[in-house]
Amino acid sequence: MCINDDLEWRKVYSVGSEVIDNQHKELVEMTNSLFQGCTNSTQKEMHVYMRTIKKAVKYTKIHFETEEKIMQKVNYPEYILHKTEHEQFVEEVVKQLKKIEGGICIPLEFAIFLKNWVLNHIAVSDKKYSPFLKGIKEEDFAS
């Protein structure tokens, strides 16, 4: 049985970009869906859980590309370090997904890992580039 540990988006998580904040909100919602998907161990819930993980992985890659593009446009000095965090996260998620598919990892453990990583990454790592976004218009991030 999974504990009900939904994440709640808070204004303090905002990095000052509507585009990025909306993507972060979507990641929070996907994390909540994973928690809800592991409340029962039936075949149906596990299918929903696995589908949500795969959707989250795809969405995370899109989000990381957007974020990295913005960091490059604003000449964020810690871009390489931040990009490395993204790459390490994707590698870990792929590894955990294989463990879940192989029955080695408990879905709840993965949901907790994802929740902790998402919150820490947004609240700490992403907030570091927030000052570099001041004075930049959202339309400047396009293309």
Report residue 2's pLDDT band, with 50, 70 and 90 as the boundaries: very low
All domains in the chain, ordered by first residue: 17-133 (1.20.120.50)
What residues have CB less than 8 Å from 34, skipping those under 6 apart? 49, 52, 53, 56, 107, 110, 111, 114
For residue 82, the model assigns a pLDDT of 96
- Rounded to two decimals, what is the model's pTM? 0.82
For residue 21, the model assigns a pLDDT of 92
Report residue 1's pLDDT band, with 50, 70 and 90 as the boundaries: very low
For residue 105, the model assigns a pLDDT of 67
pLDDT in tens, 65-117: 999 999 999 999 999 999 999 999 988 888 888 887 787 767 778 888 888 88
Higher pLDDT, 1 or 23: 23
